[in-house]
Structure formats: structure tokens, C-alpha cells
Structure 1
């Protein structure tokens, strides 16, 4: 009977560690996504037709694609850690951020795998597509794309603001990081007054906030795993 009880307890602990590790890994994904997000801003090629066939474009846009996918994982893990404490405000921020980065993933995927192929056969379309980021008017009809790109920006700003406030109020993860996320997101529209290449630098504070939150999540789960291991060893010693 005692052996069965210990086996059951061990299985339960393993299940908990597995769930804990899933959230912990999203913290690591947040760190990586934030580093890429901050790192590419100063070196990103100009969003013009001549850039899409360059080697820099061929390196940076695949990184951006990976970054977008990691962002989706990151927000999910951060929200899951504080789902009860974040409340409806946190849910609203999470859904808006998820929408923003899901749409952004589609645009970046097109930048990476579709736009370079159309650079010579449909240059006006490519020029118009890239102009979505710079505010440059398109010579061709882009359909619903301009509306979707506007939705990316609005949900990015509102999502970051609401999620930052909810995280700050929840007090589970660092409040300074949450505050930085909220303030940086709220100030995003002000960046539109700057030249496009400088606008990119406005993304760095958001990236730093994500790295900070991700590191806190990663460190917290690692410490908890170590604590669980010590408790398990003490329990085994006591049983003997």
C-alpha cells in the first residue's frame, strides 16, 4: 500500500513539474523574442522595394517570423501565470495582443516568403505592401490589407496598455516591467511623428519589458522546481 501511495505521489509531482515547465519555457521564449525584437530595430533594412532582394532582408525577416511565433507563446505563458489575478482587464489585453501578433505574423510571413518573389513581377504591389509600414500611399488596390495593418497597430497599443496595467495590478510578476510595458505601449502613437527608421527604436522599451517579464517567469519556475526537488528529497528521507 505504501509503495502504491509513493508511486501515485511521484506521478502527481511529475505532472506538476511538466505543467510548470511549460510555463517556464514560455518565459524563455519571451526572452528570446524580446532580444530579437530589440536587436533588429537599429539594423532593419528600409521598407522599400530595393531592400527585399538583399541578403540583410533574407536574414532579418525569417528572424522576425520566428520572433512573432515566440511572441504568441510568450503572452500566453505570462497570462497563464496570472490568469486569476489579472482578471477581465488581463484577458482583454491578452486577446488584443494575441490578435495583434497573429496578424503581424501573417504580414511578416508575406515579407519573408512572398514579397521577394514578387519584387520583379509585381513591383507596384510590393511597393504598396511595404508602404503599409511607412504610411506611403499605394498605387494599387491592396484590398483589406491596410485595414488589417491598422488593426495590428491599434491592438498592439491597447493590448500592451491593458495587459501592462493588469500585470501591474496582479503583482505576480515585476511591477516595474509591467509599468514599462503599459507606458511604452501607450506612447506608441507618438512615435508616428518621428521618421520611420527612428520609429523602430520606440519598440525597444516594449522588448525590454518582455525580456524582463520573461526572465522573471523563467527564474520563478526554476526556483520552484528546485524547491520541489528539495521537498521531495526531504519527504523520501522522512519516509525511510
Structure 2
């Protein structure tokens, strides 16, 4: 029994430790949108580009940790909806990590030797398609967008239905992901603001992970019963 209690305590501590990662991911995601450098060739060699891409790379990793914590916190009560959201939304941020890695480490050295490649790469998001064929990068980014959309909606709905974490940020995550496609109708400089509600949702959920309430304790009880048979 003591071993089981210690195991549950350790698990709860690990889950709570994902809370600060969710908060940091949300803060970076929401905070950088109004001040993000323009996604054009001239920005790639600026010092601010390195700073922002470094923050975004860390943010992607924080999101992956946070999403895992969100799912594990409610795994005893969530169904397939939350599981699908966890998988799809996690894959979206995993793919995004690759794009940010390229923007941080690959694009700057190519600024003077392959500007057409950079224009075409950044054209994926800045609504100014380049002239170079960059292969599967474009369709992969489209897949990323679909994963982000479906994953955010399903994770938000699944979390809302599980009732373990607060309903407010769960609903905000689902709604924010749902309206994301509408942002594509806006000029690029305004599209970024669609990310702010998602960032705020993760900040809120991060505090809920870090400082769990009674609902989380009930889940721990369910896990305890499952372990002890």
C-alpha cells in the first residue's frame, strides 16, 4: 500500500510539474504575436529573428510537455475524444518544432546564397508564395494546420467533458481552434492574433495543472483503485 501511495504521489508530482510548461508555452504563444518579426527575407538575418525563433522552439517543446500533462491528468475520466485530441495536437506541435528548427538554424545561413528558397519557405505563412518548388514542405505545413485544428477542438471538448480541469479554458481552447480557419481570411499581420486565445487557454490550464483541486484528487482516487484492483 505504501509503495502504491508513493507511486501515486510521484505521478501526481510529475503531472503537476507540467503546469509551469503549459504556462510558459501559453505566455510565449500569446505574447510574441503582436511583436513577431515579419516573415520575410529581410527579417531572417536580424538579431531579433534568432531571439524569437529560439523562444518559439522552446515553446513547441513546452507545448508537447503541457499537452501530455493535460491528458495524463484526466486519463481516468477522459474518453477517445481527449485521446484523439492529445495525439493530433501533439503531432501538430511536433511538426511545428521541425519548421521552427529550420527557421532558426537553416534559413539564416542561406539568406545570401539561396534567397529564393527562403522566400518560398516563408511564403507558406506570409501569403506571398515564392517561385521555387520546395517539395513536400508545403503540403506538410497544410497537414500541420489540419492537425492543429482538429487536435485543439478535440482536446478542448474532451477536457470539457472529462470535468477534471476547469471548463472555461477547456471551452476556450476548443472554440479558439475552431475559429482558426477564419483567420486565414485576414491579412497575415492580423492572423497571428488568432493564437492569443489558445495561449491564454494554456496559461489557465497550466495553473490548473500546477495547483490541482478536488476534481484532480478524485481522479487520483480512481487511479489508486485501478492500481490496487
**TM-score for both structures, normalised by structure 1:** 0.86
Pair 1:52 & 2:44 matched: yes
User: Unaligned regions of 5+ residues in structure 2, if any?
Assistant: 218-229
What is residue 210 of structure 2 aligned with on the other side?
A: 218
Q: For 2:175, which of 161, 171, 183 is the aligned residue?
A: 183
Give the CA RMSD over aligned residues. Answer: 1.9
1:116-135 deviations in Å (ceiling 9; x for gaps): 11111110001110111123
Write out aligned runs for 1:226-237 (5 A). none
Pair 1:67 & 2:69 matched: no
Deviation at 1:205, TM superposition (A): 0.2
Write out aligned runs for 1:10-29 (5 A). 12-29=4-21
* Secondary structure in 1 matching 2:212: helix
Structure 1 segments (4+ residues) deviating >4 Å: none
What is residue 139 of structure 1 aligned with on the other side?
A: 131
* Secondary structure in 1 matching 2:57: helix
What is residue 109 of structure 1 aligned with on the other side?
A: 101
Deviation at 1:15, TM superposition (A): 3.1
**Any conservation in 1 of the 2:119–2:129 contact (CA below 8 Å)?**
no
In our comparison, the structure showing a higher alpha carbon Rg is: 1
Q: For 1:97, which of 89, 93, 98 is the aligned residue?
A: 89
Pair 1:79 & 2:71 matched: yes
What is residue 227 of structure 2 aligned with on the other side?
A: none
Deviation at 1:14, TM superposition (A): 3.7
Deviation at 1:197, TM superposition (A): 1.4
Pair 1:207 & 2:199 matched: yes
User: Unaligned regions of 5+ residues in structure 1, if any?
Assistant: 1-7, 226-240
User: Partners of 2:128 and 2:85 in 1: how far apart?
Assistant: 29
Range that drifts further, 169-178 or 84-93: 84-93
Count of residue pairs the alignment pairs up = 218
What is residue 128 of structure 1 aligned with on the other side?
A: 120
**TM-score for both structures, normalised by structure 2:** 0.90
Deviation at 1:41, TM superposition (A): 0.5
Q: For 1:118, which of 107, 110, 114 is the aligned residue?
A: 110
**Any conservation in 1 of the 2:40–2:126 contact (CA below 8 Å)?**
no
1:55-93 deviations in Å (ceiling 9; x for gaps): 110111000000000100000110011113221111111
* Secondary structure in 1 matching 2:112: coil
**Any conservation in 1 of the 2:19–2:69 contact (CA below 8 Å)?**
yes
User: Partners of 2:5 and 2:80 in 1: how far apart?
Assistant: 31
- Relative contact order higher in (CA < 8 Å, ≥ 6 apart): 2
Write out aligned runs for 1:33-48 (5 A). 33-48=25-40
User: Partners of 1:16 and 1:81 in 2: how far apart?
Assistant: 12
What is residue 157 of structure 2 aligned with on the other side?
A: 165
